[in-house]
Chains A and B, each alone.
Chain A
């Protein structure tokens, strides 16, 4: 199985801050990395697919980068509705796997 390690596991930030979350794969997954946002009691929501493509309807303050084993999700200016848990997920090989999550909390 391809392990995905997210860091940090949690972070505290203020509205307007730039936030960066990283996801490291146990082996190269090319660009087959997706990012999701999940709020309590809700299903995950797709933000970024194929490492850097913004899903339709997702605000442009979200961006993704990386390839191979190292990937980044960036929120350029954190908004109140962005406080949530973020997961990366690889679809390079089966089983599809998810990272452990990064919880973004209000400072």
Chain B
């Protein structure tokens, strides 16, 4: 079945970096954008940005410009999110999701398949 499987929980110290993986199966990885969303405890989801797995083109929310990078390895249908210069405020569950188009305009999408989430804890 169509699914996204993420890597396991991480505990990092302030100033460190974290890299989360998201492996796709059950569909053609390069046919859909991968969206990254994070959610702090008790808060709503927050969009971080997108990646086109076919071209590698990325787009980042302004808040994360310069601190996040999305990459992919198409040979293993896996997307990656790397967040650097971690602070305590980055403690959250990080999700990857598949973006399915609802119009011909880029990013007019719905998020129809989600990974299980990766908990990232930043603590000294």
Q: Which residues of A contact B (CB under 8 A)?
A: 32, 34, 36, 43-46, 49-50, 53, 55, 87, 89, 91-92, 94-101
What CA separation (Å) do A99 and B44 show in the bound complex? 7
Q: Which of B85-124 contact A (CB under 8 A)?
A: 95, 97, 100, 102-103, 107-112, 114-117
Judged by DSSP, the binding face of A is loop
A50-B110, A89-B111, A91-B110 known; A98 vs B46 contact (CB < 8 Å): yes
Distance from B48 Cβ to chain A, minimum over Cβ atoms (Å):
9
Over the window 61-98 of chain B, the binary record of Cβ atoms lying under 8 Å from chain A Cβ atoms (1 yes, 0 no) is 11000000000000000000000000000000001010
Interface size on B, residues (CB 8 A): 23
What CA separation (Å) do A53 and B102 show in the bound complex? 10
What CA separation (Å) do A54 and B35 show in the bound complex? 21
**Closest B residue, CB atoms, query A49:** B110
Distance from A52 Cβ to chain B, minimum over Cβ atoms (Å):
11
25 contacts between A and B (CB under 8 A): A32-B108, A36-B111, A43-B95, A43-B97, A43-B115, A44-B95, A44-B111, A46-B112, A49-B110, A49-B112, A50-B110, A53-B102, A55-B112, A87-B45, A89-B111, A91-B107, A91-B108, A91-B109, A92-B108, A94-B61, A95-B61, A98-B44, A98-B45, A98-B46, A99-B44
